[in-house]
Amino acid sequence: MPPIHHHRRPAIPHFERSITVNCPSQKAYDYLADITHHPDWASHNLAVEKTSAGPIAVGSTFSSTGHQMGTHTGVVTITELVPNQKIVYESNDDTAHIRHSFTLAAENGGTRIAKSFETIKTGFMLTVFRPMMYVVQPHLLSADLQKIKSRLEA
């Protein structure tokens, strides 16, 4: 009998960085859960518009248009919300399907914000540039967090 070969899928690249901001977790949560604020701190040129009715909740959707190596229009969907603790949303366009997470925790009178990013599926372009993600993404996460910190402490 021939041997059985199990093909392992490559590990999903996962990146995470954190920062402490001088504001209550409620303020950070409210700001970050509203995806329309994303262009204020994103590392790339981005436009976001809410496309679902009602208050922001799990299942809320947003249209996003990014300008990074061309113009890419996609859908952002909130997949998990834990008040003042966690926000998870997924962005899906022709470049990739990505899960973004924020976790918040009280720390030293402020809030520790951890931002993570994992690729669920990549389109051709990101597959080609995948090795660069390991160099670029940690820097982009840190830059995003610095901008978030300055917005929340303003």
The stretches of the chain forming alpha helices (DSSP H) are: 25-33, 38-41, 124-153
The full set of domain ranges for the chain reads 15-153
Give me the architecture of the 15-153 domain, per CATH: 2-Layer Sandwich (3.30)
pLDDT at 66: 81
State the DSSP string of 110-146: EEEEEEEEEEEEE-HHHHHHHHHHHHHHHHHHHHHHH
pLDDT at 150: 96
User: 75 in helix, strand or coil?
Assistant: strand
Q: What is the pLDDT of residues 98-118, one digit of tens each?
A: 899 999 999 989 999 999 988
